[in-house]
Structure 1
Amino acid sequence: MTTATAKIAATAVAAVALAASPGMVATGLAAARTSDGTTVVDSSTIASSTEGQTDQTDQTGQPTWARHHGYGYGHGYGYGGYAYGSDGYGQSSGQGTGSSDLSQAADGSTISGTEVASMKGVVMVDTVLPDGRGAGTGMILTADGEVLTNYHVVEGSTSITVIDTTTGRKYSASVVGHDAAHDVAVLRLSGASGLSTVTVDRSPAQVGQSVVAVGQGGGQGSIYRVTGSVTALDQSITAQDETSVGSGEQLTGLIRTTADVVPGYSGGPLMDTSGRVIGIDTAATSSGDIDGYAVPISQALAIADQITAGVRSEDVHVGARAALGVQVTDVTVGGYGGSRGATGMPSGAAVADVVAGGAAAAAGITAGSTITAVDGDTVTSGTDLSEDLSDEYPGTRVTVTWTDPSGTTRSTSVTLGTSTVA
């Protein structure tokens, strides 16, 4: 059985082609399409992409969709736009009963559930992106300001503001570390103390269990709650960037519910009826009746503990990300960006701009070049370049191969700089 799913995160507020600003982050491309067929573009940074990409199919012939922060005028799903999923154990025969309390804000964003004045331990996470803004949710884990959220809520942001819903106080925040493969990030609030924290229940969820999802529905600056029930456990979904030719990202072990989670809920708690957190709202179906997906809190907290302990691994990145210092678009055989430039240019990541003083500039890479390999691994698109660099740390040396505007192939060792985005 397959399911169309979409990460539900951050809403974005700068409209470009019906969405947030165009761009590609060092860990993934961002452009997407909503269920109504409108094209959406994500924003983030170190390498920026073109906007308005179209949907593709993978080798199975099924549609794949992209990561995006927004739909409509600045609001939308997070990364992992449209995907497929498979059932795990414990699926119930029925779909349960979820809330149908959906409404639309004046700006076109979707709101779900009932507005509440505050929620203990729940915060609103507002981000500034290179070409827009975003909004999501998070959970306070410690009194001194450790916050759990989805990575796609803060990915690509240049600054993060967190609002404690119980006090209304605002804090600047930084990313301690993240796990993109499991969509988990830990934030640290500046100057925080004496905060109220969420109460968690690490016990496995149960099929048929009633649940409450909480989040900044529609990114409207308010907290909403929506009810539902658990319909399946151990779910797996595959989410893929729209212009990527890879197999996409797998999220596994997810809780599926009937809760009508919508954009802005990402990073918020999925709770039992006693108010204990059993999961972190992460994904939702992008068409038809809404099915929500949540990462079990036990899995998310295990990752958070590793991050705060400073233990790096294949999936867990602690501290700042590396940056090559270029803005790129995809190149297809026959043209720069697939639409202009010298015929016959190799496929790869077309350099649209170079950051002054950055690693690429120091290596002699110029605008109009096409990056074709990193450490011998072929780069076929801007997405490839981002993925190749996503796990690297500042100060790492990599060998970059590129074709300059004259058609000459060059290769040199480059010392990566520090990314200015999360």
Structure 2
Amino acid sequence: MAERTKKIKLLRKTSKTFLWISLVLMVFSTIGLYFYVRNLLQDEVEEELRSTEARIESSISENSIIYQLPPMVEVESVPNLGFEHLKDTLIFDPSQDEIEEFRELITYSKINDQNYRITVRALIVESEDILIAVVISYLIVILFVFIFLFYFNKSRTQKLWNPFFKNLEQMKLFSLTSETPISLMDSDILEFSELNTEITTLTDKVRSDYKNLKQFTEDVSHELQTPLAIIQAKVDTIINGEALNDIQFEQLSSIQKDIQRLKQLNKKLGLISKIENDQFTNISPCNVTHILKDRIENLSELYPSEILLESNEDVVLLMDAHLAEVLCNNLLSNAIKYSLPNTPIVIVLEKDSLSVRNKGIRAILKPDQLFQRFYKESDEVKSTGLGLAIVKKICDLYGFQPSYRFTNNEHHFTISLPKQ
């Protein structure tokens, strides 16, 4: 089974995307700005060095004065001309009494029939300070711009998506049983407007189909009762007649049992349909302890199995009273049908759980299908296969958790109850 993807909110997703894109752009723009300004400063320093070198050559040529200003300017007479050098170097600066980094330009020129080596230097620290100041200023400005754009974009996006979120809340409140039409917030965005139209059309269609299906189910359930009752009456009349042989009597008795089973099936399917359609809305405090005692008293007269109730206090649940009786009755009936002869059935009722256990030969082969409709472990016991399915539907309706286990040759059906 594939791992479930972690879900995050839309605004958080878009904000996260904006943050990452902005962060990447900030980093790359800062790096680009750093190298761009650095190259500009280097070009400016080199241009200044060459300008200084040109003025020195002009001074020597016109005035024959050798200009010296160590370590910034050094002029030496050399026997031969060399090649031009441009590099960074470390030189002790007496004025600062420390070693400083300089940008150095060495050129060779022949002036008035004399070869000179002219060395011109510029302090790099100043240009680095300028570079750092520019980068820091840029970061401060871009940070304020980023914060402004982030909150502006967030508020703008929230306002833009507000109709979507409002309509989503309306969709969550949508009920098939309610006659109130869904109220959607209008939007000037074309896609949201189209979505509202489709949602309205879809909900109207779903509500109409639900009503038709509900009416069909109720009609079928109701209309089946009359012909089944007529068939039952006619079979009873024939059985009570005198002109029946043994074979005919057995066949009619079998038909009578099938009719009874069909009536039970129709009744239980109708109940499941009503539960699924949320037609049980009468919620009231139900004393489950009293209901179990009444059911045990009634069932004890019909079945020989001993039924024991272990309960130290009354347990009261907020639910429909009829469904509470159905829940208890189905659990007890299931235990009686599948219990070994002459073995007790034990019911344990506590504040947070209801457990029914009965003796059995083996565990259920497919416990994952136990609460599905029409599932039967075998055909030995005549059953509609809907009793535990109804139990599951009632549990789902009220947030109970049904479970099954087989230990010590006993079937355990447990329903975890929420705190009231």
TM interval, shorter chain, is under 0.3
> Which fold has the larger relative contact order, with Cα–Cα distance below 8 Å and residues 6 or more apart in sequence?
1
Rg larger in structure: 2
Bigger proportion of residues as helix? 2
Tell me the TM-score normalized by structure 1: 0.20
TM-score calculated relative to the size of structure 2: 0.20
